Amino acid sequence: MEGATAHGASELQRREHVGAIPCHATAVCNEELVASDAGPLAELAVTDVFAVLQALRGTRRASAVATVKNVIRTAIRTDVPVLVELIGELAEYERAHDEVEIDDMMLERALFGPEPSAFAQVATVDDLIVGMALYYRSFSTWTGRPGIYLEDLYVRPAHRGLGIGRALLASLARLALDEDCRRLEWSVLDWNQPAIAFYHSIGAVATDEWTRYRLAGSALSDFASSL
């Protein structure tokens, strides 16, 4: 997500929408997650991504993750139309569908262009995509290490409660460790109490001392032309 200060910008790489989640992660059920970016946000971060993996290795929850982890894979080009559909569904849940501008061409360029600006993993059941995690790389000037910012995390309603959202999140935590990242971060809408409770349960902490700011639309162009 974007940071609140010049120095904090590196610290709090965020998502929009999930423009999203600047990445906001929200839970639609007590079990499942959605990540998004519109609306008032409470920032959460995991300063030690290993805490996520440890928390996700519980009793019943760990077995749920193990059950579905074999259907988590890296997104491919032909997944783009479904990913755009999922982004729209997430925006609808976040009451911001009218704000979505992305189309297939834009997402394909972002994920698979010469210089990708975003990445995605998908969850499939019977070869059908039922969930996604869309993320990008961040960097912390304080730790001197890269990080992962989760922009969107979403599981379709018919497949919630199976541990798929949890498995997607754990997969990103493992990726963060593999790439020597120090942080896995996202945002959550402040009214999504089930999601907030889940994030706290896995060791994520709210960065309440930071306030997110954004320049967009005419404010962005006006300020840019003020020099």
pLDDT, mean of residues 187-216: 88
pLDDT, mean of residues 99-126: 96
pLDDT, mean of residues 189-194: 86
Pair 176, 168: CB distance under 8 Å: no
Find all residues with CB under 8 Å of 8, minimum gap 6, and list them: 210
pLDDT at 167 over 70: yes
Strand partners of residue 19: none
Q: Which of 55-59, 114-118, 146-150, 167-171 has the lowest mean pLDDT?
A: 55-59
Residues of the chain with pLDDT > 70, as a percent, come to: 69
Pair 132, 25: CB distance under 8 Å: no
Say how far apart CA 22 and CA 150 lie, in whole Å: 8
Pair 206, 24: CB distance under 8 Å: no
pLDDT in tens, 95-112: 888 899 999 999 999 999
Q: Which residues are catalytic?
A: 199
Say how far apart CA 226 and CA 203 lie, in whole Å: 43
> Where do the domains of the chain lie?
8-216
The CATH class for the domain spanning 8-216 reads: alpha beta
pLDDT given for residue 202 in this prediction: 85
